[in-house]
Homo-oligomer: A and B are copies of this chain.
Amino acid sequence: MSEITAPSRSAATLHDVAREAGVSLATASRVLNGSTRKVAESYRERVEAAAEKLGYTANLSAQATARGTSAIVALLVADIADPYFGQLASGVARGADEAGLVVTIAITERDAQRETRLVRALRGQRPRGLILAASRTDGPDSVGLDAELAAFAAGGGQIVSLGPDGPGRAVSVDNVGGATALGAQLAALGYARAVIVAAGIGIRTSDDRVAGFTAGFTGAGGEIQEVVRGGFTRDAGYDTARALLERGLEPGTLVFGISDVVAIGIMSAVRDAGRRVGADIAVAGFDDISTGRDIRPGLTTVRVPLEDLGYRALHAAVDTEWAPDPQPLPLEVIVRGSTPPRT
């Protein structure tokens, strides 16, 4: 037992530990926070015991200022309640945990100004890396963002973009290839007419999927009747599909939603219009979020390894050695009941 430890209002510091162990700050630091230097076993034990006793945990902020580098990775997503981003974030978090890093998360709500503001706020933490998962458009609003990102990069931070042409390192999947395969396979199933519910023009993910699907579908003899624009949300899918249905949609038409979330909205709109998903109006999506397994009919889609993608993004953000994947991750088409064979 040592002196009475006042139930302090602030956490134990390294100083406290050193005093308790009867060693210098330097020694305590070396023992507790990975230094390459050797410390005599007896000292080491004393320090460890003291730390344990006091419940000491290094103050990461102080560590960051002293070391000039933080143990933080920032993640920017459009909407964490969206399963797409949820699964992605899962992978990021797993990788961060393995690497002993902490993830801070911010939500853009798909608002460019907000995104700029958030990047600026996150920049304050001097994170090692910043993962941009909020599929953003390069509209006029992006100028402020670019400045923030440039400042971040200038400060030595690593930017990672999901998708092939964002700033920083890129982690991407083969949207074009996956969509092409999907289109071809659905045409082979007997679909002749398709409508695409896409997001805005200029959003690379959307554009690639539209292009791929179009190529695959028409290449196999199908016809794209229309590409309508919504967004990446369930409600966008619902509303867009609803408008489509009101204008009239022939039975047997296939509606391709740019993502599963959109496709799920489409399915609901179809049903609310009194039509049957599958038998009457076929629906396909993209991503294979886990919900797709549980809705009926099951949603035909393209499987994207979202968690894996998040994991890769994390590594792209923090590894010093990094090479872009030689080719984007290949994707797999999954046919379920929402697109029954049509013969």
Interface residues of A (CB under 8 A from B): 7-12, 55, 57-65, 68, 70, 72, 79-83, 85-87, 89-90, 93-94, 97, 100, 102-107, 118, 120-126, 147-148, 150-151, 154-156, 234, 264-265, 267-268, 271, 290-291, 293-296, 307
Contacts and interface: CB of A to CB of B under 8 A. Distances in A.
A89 to B, nearest CB: 5
A132 to B, nearest CB: 16
Contacts of A120: 57
Contacts of A234: 290, 294
A296 to B, nearest CB: 6
A122 B265 CA distance: 38
Contact of A294 (B62, B64, B93, B267): B267
A294 B264 contact: yes
5 contacts: A7-B154, A60-B126, A61-B64, A81-B83, A102-B121
A278 to B, nearest CB: 12
Nearest to A88: B81
A20 to B, nearest CB: 15
Nearest to A123: B57
A267 B107 CA distance: 32
A122 B93 CA distance: 13
Residue from A57, A68, A268 with most neighbouring chain B CB atoms (10 Å): A57
Given A11-B151, A64-B61, A106-B97, A81 B89 contact: yes
Contacts of A62: 61, 65
Residue from A79, A82, A93, A103 with most neighbouring chain B CB atoms (10 Å): A93
